[in-house]
Structure 1
Amino acid sequence: MNQNFYQVIQSIQAYVYAQDKTIRKLQKKIDMLEKKITEMHDRPPIRVEKMEYKFDQLKVETLEGTLNIGLNPSDLQGIEDFSVPSQNGVPNPKDRVSMFTEIESQVHQYLDDNLQTIMQNTGEQLQFRVDDTYRDFILQDIKKQLPSRIEYYLNQPPQNGRTHDQHKVWIFEQMKKEIHHGVSTFLQHLPENMKGPK
């Protein structure tokens, strides 16, 4: 019986020793966690106040990429043509882009070929010689305004049953008139000391 009693005491002692070891490990973990919590409390809190976005103050330098709404580029491979037939003489988007590009190209060519002559003729009408240095300034200024002016005329529905081709010709003629008028207005408002000799 002494031997059994001795074994029981040894097993109790081993169990208490194991429990003591476990308690020490847990106490170390608790101490470490308390230390981390104290450090977190000592740090200043991070606060995000009300965030306001002012989109009117954003400046976009370049805009690149493709915006797909409802379709992926891969979806477009199986589709033949989305163009909508024109109604009331207003060109569909595909025709409109084509007309815009064609008219813009014609006007650029017209400017390259005729701007110098337009300036000289206008100067003769105003009775002074136009300095050639104004040509590049006038050319760049007109080219900057071209897209918005072409868009303006494309938004005008064709009058008197004009076809698309006739409408393109009409827009081109309007652009030529605006170029002549713009050059004339610019040269008329030149200060006297900037005008060449008569």
Structure 2
Amino acid sequence: MSQNMYRVIQSIQAYVYAQDKTIRKLQKKIDLLEKKITELQDRPPVRVEKMEYKFDQLKVETLEGTLNIGLNPSDLQAIDDLSVPNQKSQANPKERMSLFTELESSINEYLDENLQTVMANTGKQLQMRVDNTYREFILQDIKKQLPNRIEYYLNQPIRNGNTPEQHKEWILEQMKKEIHNGVLTFLQHLPENMKGTNKE
């Protein structure tokens, strides 16, 4: 009987020893986790104050739009891909984006300052009175189409002997002609009941 008791005590002792070992391991893990949590809490939080995008690194593959007031829609039929290879007019992306921005700014300024006069002169040419309420509609419609048209002209090769500055001026002139033609087309196609006769 005493031998059996000795074995039971020995078994209990081994069990307690194994449990003690497990508890010590768990205690070490808990201590390690608490240390990591403290380190994470002491770290300063990550704050994103400002995000900057490098637009000069963007590449525009396709542009879509409509030419509702006659800015030479036939030109668009010849465009299969706006990324035309091996042309002298292809500048690096940064220069191209800079030129695009300059052209867009110049045309927007031209529209803001001259659209009213263009409409009035076109009205005289057509012998009709032009209602000023059309101005905002025409202005917004043209401005929506600008990116597509600028991209089209940027893909045209520079003419022989022309400098980049002369090429830019040529693009501006072409776009101004398109604006004049667009206003003319719009006014010509107004329904008769919306046209006023110019009696001046």
Partner of 2:144: 144
CA displacement, residues 41-68 of structure 1 (integer Å, 9 cap, x when unaligned): xxxxxxxxxxxxxxxxxxxxxxx97489
Residues in 1 aligned to 2:114 and 2:5: alpha-carbon distance in whole angstroms: 114
1:12 positional shift? 5.5
Aligned-pair identity (%): 62
1:195 positional shift? 1.5
1:126 positional shift? 1.4
Alignment of 1:117 onto 2:112: no
Alignment of 1:97 onto 2:92: no
1:106 positional shift? 1.1
What secondary structure does 1:94 align onto?
helix
Aligned residues of 1:90 and 1:158 also touching (Cα < 8 A): no
Distance 1:8 1:176, change over 3 A: same
Runs (5+) with no aligned partner, structure 2: 13-50, 56-85
1:156 positional shift? 0.4
1:101 positional shift? 1.4
1:15 positional shift? 7.6
Match of residue 2, structure 2, among 1, 7, 28: 7
Please show how residues 1-198 of structure 1 align to structure 2 within 5 Å.
Answer: 6-11=1-6, 66=53, 88-198=88-198
Runs (5+) with no aligned partner, structure 1: 1-5, 19-63, 69-85
Aligned residues of 2:89 and 2:155 also touching (Cα < 8 A): no
Aligned residues of 1:91 and 1:164 also touching (Cα < 8 A): no
When normalised by structure 1's length, the TM-score is 0.58
Partner letter of residue 170 of structure 1?
W
**Deviation beyond 4 Å, 4+ runs, structure 1:** 12-16, 64-68
Distance 1:164 1:124, change over 3 A: same
Q: Which has the higher contact order (CA 8 A, sep 6+)?
A: 2
Partner letter of residue 102 of structure 1?
E
Residues in 1 aligned to 2:100 and 2:4: alpha-carbon distance in whole angstroms: 101
Distance 1:95 1:8, change over 3 A: closer
Over aligned residues, Cα RMSD in angstroms? 2.8
CA displacement, residues 3-59 of structure 1 (integer Å, 9 cap, x when unaligned): xxx41243456689x6xxxxxxxxxxxxxxxxxxxxxxxxxxxxxxxxxxxxxxxxx
Partner letter of residue 3 of structure 2?
V
Partner letter of residue 160 of structure 2?
N
What secondary structure does 2:131 align onto?
coil
Residues in 1 aligned to 2:94 and 2:179: alpha-carbon distance in whole angstroms: 27
Aligned residues of 1:104 and 1:147 also touching (Cα < 8 A): yes
When normalised by structure 2's length, the TM-score is 0.58
Instruction: Mark the structure with the bigger radius of gyration.
Output: 1
Q: Which moved more, 1:132-141 or 1:87-96?
A: 87-96
Distance 1:89 1:149, change over 3 A: closer
Aligned residues of 1:129 and 1:196 also touching (Cα < 8 A): yes
1:189 positional shift? 0.8
